[in-house]
Chains A and B, each alone.
Chain A
């Protein structure tokens, strides 16, 4: 069952994956005070883009938790106040369904949590070890739970 919390965590995981791929460029894009987009294509190629630059990475490992085959993902982030970003996310599944979610998150908090010990969890996503559960709890907290 895909629910609101899982979708929120997936968004955070995608940002973490981008961060683990290229820390410098991801930080520039998400903290550039402008708007940015995160997209995933049917072959799991993900792009994080803004006027500052574009980063491509594989998004599969972040999407597995949703438990359904993803066709496309499109997330638009709009800069708010104090490093808060409002986002509108749309996940399109193969199987005649899509899920959309709107909300806000503090990008600085997410990146800061990722720059220290917690960022290791992003790299461990693909290995599916016990730390994943703890990281999910941390992401839930950051995403507003």
Chain B
């Protein structure tokens, strides 16, 4: 009986850890979207990975955030209505998929890839997917495709 309780306890602890890890990316996404809504680009900039930060700074400044990143800086206008989200986290990277409807009320997803830098999740790459129908919605976290 003692063993069963112990096994159950370990199982519950693992489950809690998984749940805790699985909610790590969405709040960062929401924080990023909120920074774009308020045009607080310094905050948006801080959420980007070092690679992206350096890419902006080598040719420009944070004031030019929206010009340098026309797609990344307009993510807040892509989904007019959010439906669901999924995330999947590994030790080095994590992917978040947010499904919803765009301004034409058509199915659209945003796939975001985060990488861990200095123990924090940073946004490294984004893909906007304009779907042909609702059945094209991803049903699991999908890392953005890169050409």
User: Which chain A residues have a beta carbon within 8 Å of chain B's beta carbons?
Assistant: 1-5, 7, 67-68, 71-72, 74, 86, 90, 92-93, 95-104, 145
B residues within 8 A CB of A100?
A: 127-130, 145
Q: Which of B2-10, B27-35, B100-108 contacts A (4 or more CB under 8 A)?
A: B100-108
A-B contact count, CB below 8 Å? 82
Residue pair A104, B127 in contact (C-beta under 8 Å): no
Place the interface of chain B in its size category: 20 to 34
User: Which chain B residues have a beta carbon within 8 Å of chain A's beta carbons?
Assistant: 48, 51-52, 55, 68-72, 74, 77-78, 102-104, 106, 108, 123-132, 136, 144-147
Residue pair B71, A99 in contact (C-beta under 8 Å): yes
Main secondary structure, interface of A, reads: strand
A residues within 8 A CB of B48?
A: 96
Main secondary structure, interface of B, reads: mixed
Q: How far is the CA of A97 from the CA of B144 in the complex (A)?
A: 9
Residue pair A97, B147 in contact (C-beta under 8 Å): no
B residues within 8 A CB of A71?
A: 147
Residue pair A97, B145 in contact (C-beta under 8 Å): no
Residue pair B69, A4 in contact (C-beta under 8 Å): no
